[in-house]
Structure 1
């Protein structure tokens, strides 16, 4: 899906049933220490792993092309490709450790 610059992709507190991969462009993750992610990066994984609501609002810093992975597909990926699942889980844990706990 293509998202124009400035558009909100997901909001803090919303339920999350998919994660996103940045194919082109950049997204801005609104956290106490804002972060920009570019091509090859992913976000939204924590909602799939933990079942908790979104932990940050993410918007398109530039026009961005995103690929999405829905919850059911994420579970299949975890079963069929444990090494990829481990990379996603490790990144989620690192991000959770960097985020302030509410």
Structure 2
């Protein structure tokens, strides 16, 4: 199930990180988002590893695991990876696909380049991240 351009942009606009972005800014973010399919049991991130991508789940479920404990289950519209990308810190948890997962992925290098090239987007994303952290 591939998303067409408008559906991808609408999904990105619905995320709190990009909610204040203009349609043009959302289109810039959507342009660097790739779609991937992952099988159940596949690790999407590993706790304490460097953050290399930002992931939005389009369809399916994934478990968030800290240590040996499942602390949350993510589903359609949920996202992860933004904190490690923006702060440069390690992943705070492991995320493993509980079911098959269809997701949007923004690679770290593309995300950082976008934020460098578009200071307005960077400001909005940092503000949204600060609001989420409170």
TM-score greater than 0.5 by the shorter chain: yes
The structure showing larger relative contact order (alpha-carbon pairs under 8 Å, at least 6 residues apart) is 1
Q: Secondary structure at the match of 1:34?
A: strand
Q: Cα RMSD between the aligned structures?
A: 2.2
Task: Give the gaps of 5 or more residues in structure 1.
Answer: 95-102
Spell out the pairing of 1:63-78 with structure 2 (5 A cutoff): 63-75=100-112, 76=114
Q: Offset of 1:17 from its aligned partner?
A: 1.9
d(CA) in 1 for partners of 2:56, 2:91: 16
- Count the aligned residue pairs: 93
For normalisation by structure 1, the TM-score amounts to 0.75
What are the Cα deviations for residues 41-86 of structure 1, in whole angstroms up to 9, with x where unaligned? 1001111111011110000011101111122433425634358513
Query: Between Structure 1 and Structure 2, whose CA radius of gyration is higher?
Result: 2
Query: Superposition pairs for residues 51-70 of structure 1, below 5 Å?
Result: 51-70=88-107
Runs of 4+ in 1 over 6 A off after TM superposition: none
**TM-score, length basis structure 2:** 0.59
Aligned to 2:46: 11
Instruction: Please identify which structure carries the higher helix content.
Output: 2
Runs (5+) with no aligned partner, structure 2? 1-35
**Gap change, CA 1:3 and 1:88, over 3 Å in 2:** farther
